[in-house]
Each structure stands twice: as C-alpha cells, then as structure tokens.
Structure 1
Amino acid sequence: LTKAIRNLDQKIIVCKWENGWHFMRQRTDKSFPNHYKTAMAVWESIRNPVSKEQLLQIIN
C-alpha cells in the first residue's frame, strides 16, 4: 500500500465506481460511516441503476 492510502486508514472517504473504485475525497464532516445496510443499498443501486423507463412507468 502507498503512504497516501495508509493515511486514509480508519477515515471516511468518498469513492466513485468506474470499472473499479476511485478515491474522490475524505469526509472530514462525518464522524461515523454509513450503516452496512445503507452501503449495500447504494452498491446495489450502482450495480442495477433505475432506468428512465422504470421511473416513467411509476410516474404514469
């Protein structure tokens, strides 16, 4: 591991998914991470995003 990555140990960070995780920034405004269920729900929405068509079906 690089020193920069080691310095993020036990920190709350924001990443984006583009064929792999990419670090964006550290969240110094948060004291605690999201709950496991919240994190898994976000991951599921990344893996299976809601389509425009699905939204329109719900609205109409």
Structure 2
Amino acid sequence: MTETKYKTEKRKANVGERILITDDAYAISLYEKGTVLTVSSVDAKGEHVRNKGGKNTVV
C-alpha cells in the first residue's frame, strides 16, 4: 500500500482541498496531529470549516 505524502504550504486552504493537521494545540480533542481533513466551507471571516466524518469542525 502506498502512503500519501502531503506538501506543506503557508496559505489558506480552498473548499475541497485536504489539509494535514500539524499543530493540535487548540484542537480541544476534536482532532490530533496527523489528522487529514477536507475543507467543506469558508465563513465570512475567512476561517475555514473542515469536514470530519460528516461533522463540521472549525480549525
């Protein structure tokens, strides 16, 4: 089985893109370092909301 490799970029993610959590300091047990999430929407403030198992989580 081939392991997926992710490229680190310093920019806001767009809807539909996958993100890799690299710092879980503010996660409050919702996700941990190494978790991969998909951007499902972006709110008016520009904060990205990620879809995790069908649930929306603000990151």
TM-score (norm 1): 0.25
What is the TM-score when the length of structure 2 is the normalising length?
Answer: 0.25
| Structure number with higher helix proportion | 1
Greater strand content: 2
Larger radius of gyration: 1
Q: Which has the higher contact order (CA 8 A, sep 6+)?
A: 2
